[in-house]
């Protein structure tokens, strides 16, 4: 591990670290905010998964989350959204390849060698964070857009791993919208049964843990009707009896202005669950 950034922030420390990932086969950067409480002892960890085109910088520079994390004594961990670098498969489009990992394990070439973000987020990164920072066993997970998809899917596929989950503007049904159809077809092939393993609306039907889902969605989001379609998650949760709080926020779009407006409420939600 190599520290490449450190900034004092709200009495704590905003840091960026780099390590050689054995899962992804490349060097990966991830951000860690250590609240002031971390100097006295272990703190719970909230993992943040970013959306298309983003890296670890977007959340830590735009969301305004550090002050809320300091208030509640929560460590924030924000990884990159995909493997990157020379030799890593890519595409000219913004919604496939580097910056568009979709938090799954690719099975098709040329993607399968490096695109294993699911294993990275659920195995390698938590082990690294727990080994190097003062963490408790309590974890939460959240994310935005593609990262909201990742947070929901990872929480649903790993009962007991997280005490809380939330999402901003998530891609709730990737198997039914253009972003997901394109990515799943490239990364996974044409077996739609395999696609369902990475689709939150399909996973809630058989979830063994009824972890409450908190979703905020702006009603002025230009991706709302074509790519996000939160009503599909609402219908799936109602059919399965899975707890969901879906908050449609009037006038808000898909940007970090939206995230910054409600990130404090999300961090409070996670802190309550992780400490309770």
The β-bridge relationship of strands 12-20 and 2-9 is: antiparallel
Cβ-based neighbours of 227, under 8 Å, separated by 6 or more: 171, 177, 178, 179
Q: What is d(CA 248, CA 241) in angstroms, rounded to the nearest whole number?
A: 20
Is position 254 annotated as part of the catalytic site?
Answer: yes
Pick the catalytic residue from 242, 254, 269, 270: 254
Pick the catalytic residue from 29, 80, 216, 221: 221
Pick the catalytic residue from 9, 50, 145, 164: 145
Q: Residue 107: which of 98, 99, 118 has the closest Cα?
A: 118
Is position 221 annotated as part of the catalytic site?
Answer: yes
Cβ-based neighbours of 36, under 8 Å, separated by 6 or more: 10, 11, 12, 70
Question: What phi, psi does 89 have (nearest 5°)?
Answer: -55, 145
Q: Supply angle C-alpha 270, 134, 58, rounded to 5.
A: 55
**Active-site residues: which are they?**
145, 221, 254
């Amino acid at each position: 591990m190599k520290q490449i950034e450190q900034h004092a922030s709200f009495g704590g420390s905003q840091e960026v670290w780099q390590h050689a990932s054995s899962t992804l086969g490349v060097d990966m950067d991830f951000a860690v905010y250590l609240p002031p409480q971390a100097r006295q002892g272990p703190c719970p960890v909230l993992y943040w998964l970013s959306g298309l085109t983003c890296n670890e910088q977007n959340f830590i520079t735009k969301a305004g989350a550090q002050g809320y994390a300091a208030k509640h004594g929560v460590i924030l961990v924000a990884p990159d959204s995909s493997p990157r670098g020379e030799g890593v498969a890519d595409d000219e489009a913004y919604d496939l390849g580097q910056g568009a990992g979709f938090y799954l394990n690719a099975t098709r070439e040329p993607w399968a060698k490096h695109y294993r973000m699911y294993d990275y987020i659920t195995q390698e990164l938590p082990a690294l964070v727990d080994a190097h920072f003062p963490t408790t066993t309590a974890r939460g997970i959240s994310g935005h857009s593609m990262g909201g998809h990742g947070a929901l899917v990872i929480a649903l596929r790993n009962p007991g791993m997280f005490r809380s989950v939330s999402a901003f503007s998530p891609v709730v049904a990737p198997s039914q919208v253009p972003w997901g159809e394109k990515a799943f077809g490239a990364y996974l092939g044409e077996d739609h049964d395999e696609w369902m393993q990475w689709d939150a609306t399909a996973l809630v039907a058989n979830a063994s843990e009824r972890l409450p889902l908190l979703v905020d969605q702006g009603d002025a989001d230009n991706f709302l009707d074509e790519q996000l379609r939160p009503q599909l998650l609402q219908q799936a949760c109602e059919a399965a009896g899975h707890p969901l709080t879906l908050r449609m926020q009037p006038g808000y779009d898909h940007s970090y202005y939206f995230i910054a407006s409600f990130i404090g409420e999300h961090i409070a939600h996670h802190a309550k669950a992780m400490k309770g």
